[in-house]
Structure 1
Amino acid sequence: MTRNYTIDFFKCLAIFGVVCIHTHTFRDTAVPFGNGEMWAFIIDTIARFSVPFFFAASGYLFAMKLERTDDTFAYFKRYTGKLIGLLAAWFAFYWIYDFIKMLTASTGTMNEQKAELTTYFQDTLQWRTLLDGISYTQFQLWFMFALIFSIIIIYTAYRLRILKLTLLAGLVLNLIGLLGQSYGPLFHVTMEETTRNGIYFGLFYTALGACFGLYEKQIIEKARAIRTRTVGMIIVAGFALQLLERYILHYGLDLPQGEYLISTIPLTVSLLLFTLKARHIGKHRYVSMVAKNVVGIYLIHTLWRSIFDQALDQSNITQTFAWGLLYAPILYAVSLLSYVGLQYTKGKLSDPTVPRQAKTRTALRPSNSLIK
């Protein structure tokens, strides 16, 4: 089976979508056409495909690797070990960063500062941190917690040959999780805990991708009669349906904006199917380089967002259309360059004898893996 470059292409779009979500593009910005809030809603909603696709792509690549590996347990340990190592390192970094920020930026009384730090410690030490992360600068790390949880379940299901059953269970949990996201108020259901985690969110989409990876040949054979152009049109319709669903829920029924939707499911399925039918869309050196560093951009971009937001807190530039247009691309570019630079520096420190040119070629080597 040939390399799937289209996964790289969608990963590049998805990470930019994540940055747009976290920068609230145009939300508080004066725009020359329409109003900023509506444009922010449209961009945020369209970008909601990003994290489900990351989960699905991770499951797909993980299952593909399992099928081609003799010692699956050794690969599973190595893969999860890298995930856990990344999570531990960045969680520790952000924990120290936020701790220092609280000590230096707090303007309250001594008792108020003490209460703030106590809450910070309590939030960190809760058992739910292992599932949901904590909501400070490192809020995005919930994805890493969820992915580790999902991969452990997927590998167990793979070894027990119950991956299809796991997919079905994940779908049921995903639909239940919508009661803690987009649909709870509609049915007068309140779920105290967040359902944006590995149980309700990550497991289903990771299992979906794993099934595409495990049964790729069968899926391609059954979908042979479907034209690639038709799948592309279905994807466009999927984005439109996702936008319509969220618009009706929020503006029509006056419900809070949820983070995932029912329509995200068929949209993700159609995206995965498209990557199987058109495998060479992302065959470009820049796309491969960005795709290789997608996890790095995801991990580091909230640090830069925090720095930018603090630096420009009192500036009127954040209300301008130019800033609304450029903030996400700037944050994306700075995150990419800083993470590539970090990896280069790490490589030089670990092996300073390696020539610069050789290290650069390694950094740009194409890779489908979300975690190297």
Structure 2
Amino acid sequence: MYGNMANFVLETTARFAVPFFFMASGYFFALKTTRGDPTDYLIKRVTSITSLYAFGLVLSAPVFLAGTIVRASAENRAITSSVVLKVAEFVSPIELLYYGTSVSEILWFLPALIFSYVLIYLCIASTMSAYLLPISLGFHLVGLLGSGYTMFVDIPFEIRSALFFGFFYTSLGYYIYSHEWQPAPERSTLYLGTTILFGVLHIGERYVLGYAITDQTVSQGIYAPSYTIATALVTLSLFVFLLSRPNLGRDTALPVWGKKYAVGIYVTHPPVLFILEKAGESLSLFGHEIQNTILWHLVLTPATFAGALLVYLSVRNLRAIEIDGFSLPRSRQIRNK
């Protein structure tokens, strides 16, 4: 029970991450498009994100396919048919091109960001930018009903996508910049306090939705919906706080590390995480239940981080990936390496 409660708090607290990414992306999309040609910048961003997504697929698919072969062999199932079914999942058009979940669910927000950009661009091109935030909010409310508030209505389709989540948060970031909202530095303490308050509210909201109004208990499992109402509140307040403190962390190594490694680590970490998790499952077959230990939970994340960094650096040395996107290495470059 205590382990589930700790994981529930961690899961809830960290849930702002992807929405914050969408907001920041929308903010800088507005910054770039108001200073230049929106069409040119859209094409540039879509090309870059598509190449990163393609790299993530190329890196993850063989690892996941190998896992399918090993599992089929261990369970005495036909390997060929298992591989065919897995490949069919990989190339499923809507999951591959729109939802981004055909190979790894972790990469879902990359195609979601592409479609979010396109939706914003269409609103701008059709002179509907004034209605951008209300339109995206309307779709987001439908997404919330299909995520955290399923007790009110049954949404019969997948809602963790660009239209129902990415579009809203990206539009929110776009709205902040396009309306020239620059939070005052002298109010940064207030914004930080609001962020903490909404963070506590976020935990309380999800506890009520997952346990207080249901028959479930913390000892039975971890309630982890995609997003809820308070997710937007805590994400927005944190974003505003950071806008009020633009020099925060500037004198540290974090900005340089982020620019050099953050995108690469994220794109390469799905297969690393998969291998580590499967290794933990394999050890349980020999009586070592390490996945139920505190040590495993403390080590898994930094081990995934370090492994993904190592993979990224190795691939970058082959010049197969850069921050601006993915490109196949030339044969001469590979021979030289």
Q: Same fold (TM over 0.5)?
A: yes
Q: 1:65 to 1:341 in 2, by over 3 A?
A: farther
Q: 1:224 to 1:122 in 2, by over 3 A?
A: closer
d(CA) in 2 for partners of 1:258, 1:160: 34
Q: Does 1:91 align with 2:91?
A: no
Q: Does 1:245 align with 2:209?
A: no
Cα drift, residue 116 of structure 1: 6.2
d(CA) in 2 for partners of 1:164, 1:268: 22
Specify the alignment match of 1:358 in structure 2: none
1:267 to 234, 238, 251: 234
1:300 to 247, 268, 282: 268
Specify the alignment match of 1:339 in structure 2: 312
Q: Within 5 Å, give how 1:286-365 maps onto structure 2.
A: 286-292=253-259, 293-313=261-281, 314=283, 315-346=288-319
8 A contact 1:124–1:134 mirrored in 2:
no
d(CA) in 2 for partners of 1:326, 1:119: 30
d(CA) in 1 for partners of 2:273, 2:95: 25
Specify the alignment match of 2:175 in structure 1: 211
Cα drift, residue 237 of structure 1: 0.6
Structure 1: gaps (5+ residues): 1-33, 353-372
d(CA) in 2 for partners of 1:110, 1:331: 30
d(CA) in 2 for partners of 1:202, 1:177: 10
1:176 to 142, 145, 157: 142
Cα drift, residue 226 of structure 1: 6.6
Cα drift, residue 58 of structure 1: 0.8
Percent identity over paired residues = 29
Q: 1:117 to 1:191 in 2, by over 3 A?
A: farther
Cα drift, residue 347 of structure 1: 7.3
Specify the alignment match of 1:190 in structure 2: 154
d(CA) in 2 for partners of 1:77, 1:206: 17
Q: Give the AA of the match of 2:232.
A: I
Q: 1:164 to 1:325 in 2, by over 3 A?
A: farther
Cα drift, residue 135 of structure 1: 5.3
- Residue deviations 1:50-79 (CA, integer Å, cap 9, x gap): 01001111111121122222x332222111
Which one has more relative contact order, counting CA pairs under 8 Å at least 6 apart?
Answer: 1
**SS of alignment partner, residue 267 of structure 2:** helix
Cα drift, residue 341 of structure 1: 3.9
Q: Give the AA of the match of 2:301.
A: A
Q: Does 1:53 align with 2:20?
A: yes
1:106 to 72, 75, 80: 72
Q: 1:98 to 1:334 in 2, by over 3 A?
A: closer
Cα drift, residue 143 of structure 1: 0.7
How many residue pairs are counted as aligned between the two chains? 311
Structure 2: gaps (5+ residues): 217-222, 322-328
Cα drift, residue 171 of structure 1: 0.8
Please report the TM-score for the alignment, with normalisation by the length of structure 1: 0.76
